Structures are given as C-alpha cells and as structure tokens.
Structure 1
Amino acid sequence: MDTVSSTTFRPGLRLRRLCLGLLGLAVALLLGQPVYASTGTTPPSLLDQRVADFLTQQAGDLGDVVKVKVFAPSVQLPTCQDPQPFLPREGQRVYGRVAVGVRCAGQTARVRYLQAQVDVQVRYLVTARDVRRGDPLSAADLRWQSGLLDELPRHALRAEEAAIGQVAVRNLPAGTTLQAYQLHRQNLVERGQRVTVVARGAGFQVSREAKALDNGALGDEVRLRTGQGERLQARVVGSRRLAIDF
C-alpha cells in the first residue's frame, strides 16, 4: 500500500507571525534603530570595530591586503565604553593569531583581552625553474607568488634584490619558496685581484686599473689601491668591475 505524505497549512498561525514581524519592523523604524536581516549574524560592536581597525593599522605595512576577524570572548562581558586597544607585549607579532588588550573608559584598572585572526596577503619569491647548486640567480630564475604571511617560512624572500646575484647552496626545484639560508653571496671581486674602476659623473667617465684590497659581492664597497699608491673606495658593479659615482 502506497503511503502519501501531506502538509497541513495553518493560515491563521502564519498570519499572526506575519503581523508580529511587521510590528517589530515598525517599532525598530520608529526608534531609529538599524534593521538587520535574520541571517544569524549581528553587526560588529564598537569594541570589535576598534580592535579590527587597530590591528589593520598595525599590520598595514606588512603586505598588500589585511583582513581581521575578532573572536567573541568565551564569557559575556559588560559593554566597553570608548574601547582603546593596545598590544600586550612590546614587539609582538601582529599577524596570524593575535592577542590584543582593550581598556574601557571608567575601567582603567581593568583590562580585557581578545583574540583575533589577522590575515596578511603578501608576495614572495619562488624559483621559476630548477636551480642547481652553485648557480647564481638572475631575474629569469624568479617568479612571484601570493600567500598568507603567517603560512610562509620565517626567512622567505620578499624582495628581488635579496635573491638576484646570490648563489644557490643546494639544488632548488622549480616552485621552491626561496629562503635566505638557501643562498649565499657571490664575491665578484677578490682581494689582490687587478680590477677596473670607473669614475663617472655628469658628462664624464674615466676608467683606470687598481688592486682590490677586500673581497666584495654585488653592491659592496671595496677598498682599492692604484698603481700610483692612491687609495680609493668603490662599489662593486660586476665581475672585477667597480664604480665611483660623483
């Protein structure tokens, strides 16, 4: 025997609920209160907004996009008047899971603490191809990738200048997140080498030979001695090449 399910409608009950809903809406409008859809969410409190704004400002220089989620305390607390957020520890990290203190007006002797998740979107460098141990890195070996700062290795590189010209200390497969310890600086000038130093300025350029008195990688300042015994200091710009800018 087939079973037939049915739904019984109660028009009177539905009408009463509709009237009560409209009455509540009218009262809210008369009192000048904001009306929110019944989605289970509530508008952020002044406390949450102050904390979110504070952490956004603190983390603003760390990356491209900052998103803050403030977690509700485990117990119900009195309303905080004029909340003033602060960081509990000097020099504490302001991304990932963060603790923040809040002082309330009239309650200066009491401080409440909240937890927040601060997601900072950043760009970092990965290898664009397989890099072999001993290979110097060029711009063609690098590509940018985006991710959350708290999920990156501690020494991840976020500037091309920190990688270009460096030498890999081990094999790095394509897609490897570059970290400072994976690279070392390559000396382009060795102490005792004969080098070329170029002095340049507005409208002139003069080159001469000299002897390096220090080792130097790209961008380093190195001491030199000319054949006439004159001592100079110049910046490494290439293999056995240095420059003095005027």
Structure 2
Amino acid sequence: MRSAGQSNPSQRHAEKIFTGAPRLVGVLLCWAMSLFVANEALASDSERLLDQRVHAFLVEHTRELGRDVEINIHPGAARLGECRDPQPFLTNPEQRLYGRVSVGVRCDSKTSQTRYLQAEVSVLVDHVVTARDIEAGSRIGPADVKLVEGRLERLPRHALLDIDDALGLSAARPLRAGSLLQTHHLRRERLVTRGSKVTVLARGNGFSVRREAKALDHGSLGEAVRLSIEGGDHLRAIVTGRGRLEVAF
C-alpha cells in the first residue's frame, strides 16, 4: 500500500513528459523561427536582385533619351516566390520609356514564370520655347526660339526638343514669349502649288538635266511631290526651293 504523496510509475512518467513539454515547444519555436528568418532573407535577396536587374535594364534603354535619369520601381502587391535569374523585357516594345513604364520579368528559363512590374522613369531634357512674341504666319528664325530644361514625362507628346525642328517653319497662330513649342504650332511654307509649272533638276552619275514640269501636289521644303512631264509621264521629286524640285537617279 502506497503512502500518501507517493506516485506510481505511470504518474511519474506523465509528470516527466509534462515538465519537458515547454522545453520541446521552445525548441520547435526556435526552429520554426530560424526557418522563417532564412526564408525571409532568401526572399529579400531575390527581390533585391530582381530590382537591380530591372533598374539596369531601364538605365540601358533610356540612355539616349536625356540626362539625370531617375528610376523608381514599384514593388509587386503580392509576395511571390524566389526569382532565380530575372530577365527583364518590355511588355510593349512600342511603349514610351519615360513616365510610367511596364516591365515584364522572366524568372527562370526552365519555367514559364513571369512577373510584371511598374516603374516611374523621369528624364531631364532640353525643349524649345519662344524667345519673344511671334505673329501668326511669321517665319521662325534663330532669334525667335531658345532651349530650356524640363522633365520629359511632364512635356506634351508633340513638344519640340531640337531648335532645328522649328527653324524655317511658320507660326500657325500667334505665340507669346515663353510658349512651349509643339509641332501643331508650326507649319511648313508651301513652296510648290498643285497645278503650277515648276523646274525639276534630274541628277545622275556624271550628268544633270533641267526641265519644266507640272506639279500634281502641294509641297513644302523636303517633301516629295508628284510631277507630270512632257509626254504624260509621271515622276516624284523632292522640293528644294520655291518652284524648284530635284530627283536623283
């Protein structure tokens, strides 16, 4: 007969398991925590590599756009798995490479896993503005325009970025000093009128021939115009001046 306070073997075994349980739980928690930290570090390294690849990809593709390029990559909304070998590509080869840009990333050549990221690209460029008031119909000269700096993504799509693109053209409407020049603000002077008699110079290897022709189109400097020559034959020539065109053979 057992004395009071004396436990049987099964009770002692249960007590031993019970007292050892907290230690086992602690070991399991430490192991789980170490796995979590390791996975988080692996995911962080993968995301860092992905961002680096996308950033380098955009730097390379925007190199010719301007200067002081700023790139901000937006992180994906969902936490995805490891991206072992990120290979960025443009989701639309025709898209603009400034402002908001969409970039796809293939994660592994052996799988079809693809991710899509958004990035903001800002580029500093020069653009053309008027240096003084210009009346409608006035021909643009070097003193009428100047270059100023601006962020490309904030400029209208048809803004002029080169002064040479404005010189020699005429103002389509009155322009105030400091106006940002766009293509629709300017027009080319018409140098050839449809139905008019023009002079066409044909040039070739060691020869040149000048003759009269009839213009079948209106034309400005550098534009191609259809011509009708004696005998009813047609040809195309480039406008080189008022009533003058040239064709090369």
* Alpha-carbon distance between aligned partners in 1 of 2:59 and 2:51, rounded to the nearest angstrom: 12
Q: Work out whether residues 81 and 104 of structure 1, in 8 Å CA contact, stay in contact via their aligned partners in 2.
A: yes
Distance 1:206 1:145, change over 3 A: farther
Aligned match for 1:129, one of 126, 129, 132:
132
Aligned match for 1:152, one of 142, 150, 155:
155
Distance 1:99 1:201, change over 3 A: closer
Aligned match for 2:183, one of 173, 180, 185:
180
How far off its partner does 1:188 sit?
Answer: 0.7
RMSD: 3.4
How far off its partner does 1:152 sit?
Answer: 0.5
Unaligned 5+ runs, structure 2 = 1-46
For residues 111-145 of structure 1, the C-alpha deviation after alignment (integer angstroms, 9 at most, x for no partner) is 44443221223332222332211123244433233
TM-score, length of structure 1 as denominator length: 0.65
* Alpha-carbon distance between aligned partners in 2 of 1:75 and 1:62, rounded to the nearest angstrom: 32
Q: Counterparts in 2 of 1:1-246, with a 5 A limit?
A: 45-64=48-67, 66-72=69-75, 79-89=82-92, 91-105=94-108, 108=111, 111-160=114-163, 162-200=165-203, 207-225=210-228, 232-246=235-249
* Alpha-carbon distance between aligned partners in 2 of 1:169 and 1:234, rounded to the nearest angstrom: 26
Distance 1:76 1:134, change over 3 A: same
Q: Work out whether residues 203 and 247 of structure 2, in 8 Å CA contact, stay in contact via their aligned partners in 1.
A: yes
* Alpha-carbon distance between aligned partners in 2 of 1:81 and 1:230, rounded to the nearest angstrom: 66
The answer to which structure has the higher helix fraction is: 2
The 10-residue stretch of structure 1 (231-240 or 60-69) with the greater mean CA deviation from structure 2: 60-69
How far off its partner does 1:228 sit?
Answer: 7.5
How far off its partner does 1:74 sit?
Answer: 6.1
* Alpha-carbon distance between aligned partners in 1 of 2:235 and 2:109, rounded to the nearest angstrom: 66
For residues 135-170 of structure 1, the C-alpha deviation after alignment (integer angstroms, 9 at most, x for no partner) is 232444332333221111121123456433332221
CA radius of gyration, larger in? 2
How many aligned positions are there?
203
For residues 52-95 of structure 1, the C-alpha deviation after alignment (integer angstroms, 9 at most, x for no partner) is 01122333343355332334556766653222223345644331
How far off its partner does 1:206 sit?
Answer: 5.1
Percent identity reads 49
Unaligned 5+ runs, structure 1 = 1-43
The 10-residue stretch of structure 1 (47-56 or 226-235) with the greater mean CA deviation from structure 2: 226-235
